[in-house]
A = this chain, B = another copy of it.
Amino acid sequence: MMATSVEDCVFCNPSGETVIWSDARCRVLQVTDAGFAGFCRVVWNEHVTELSDLDERDRNHVMRVVAAVERSLRSLLSPHKMNVASLGNQTPHLHWHVIPRYRDDSHYPNPIWAAPQREASKRTLPGDYVAKLRTAIESALG
């Protein structure tokens, strides 16, 4: 793990991350600056660029974590839909966006990267949310 670390990569040189859950291969971060309550990021620790750079075992692992985060967010926040994406055009270090979506959010039904449709709804997270999400992810991972 961490065989390679790229000097100017924000995921190789993390700063100010809120880590909700982690293991030796990947970590789950809370994304707080996006205006989408509950937005999480699943970051592969090693600097690889594409999903297809992982071998089968690692791919199954990261997707197991992504699915556990998705299931936990659905359970805690009851979104209308979940969005999952690995883009990385700006930061080519494998990471998954896991985003709860609501009919009244700023961009619904469009992707969060499209033009906004309306003002963001005032949606707040439950009390003790990070601890609850961590527990839910651990439970979903079994």
**Chain A residues in the interface with B (C-beta under 8 A):** 49-52, 54, 56, 59-60, 63-64, 66-68, 70-71, 74, 81-90, 92, 101, 108-111, 113-115
Contacts and interface: CB of A to CB of B under 8 A. Distances in A.
A50 B71 CA distance: 9
B66 A51 contact: yes
Contacts of A110: 89, 113
Contacts of A54: 67
State the main secondary structure of chain A at its contact with B: mixed
Contacts of A89: 81, 83, 101, 108-111
A28 B101 CA distance: 26
A56 to B, nearest CB: 7
A67 B74 contact: no
B92 A81 contact: yes
B70 A51 contact: yes
A8 B89 CA distance: 34
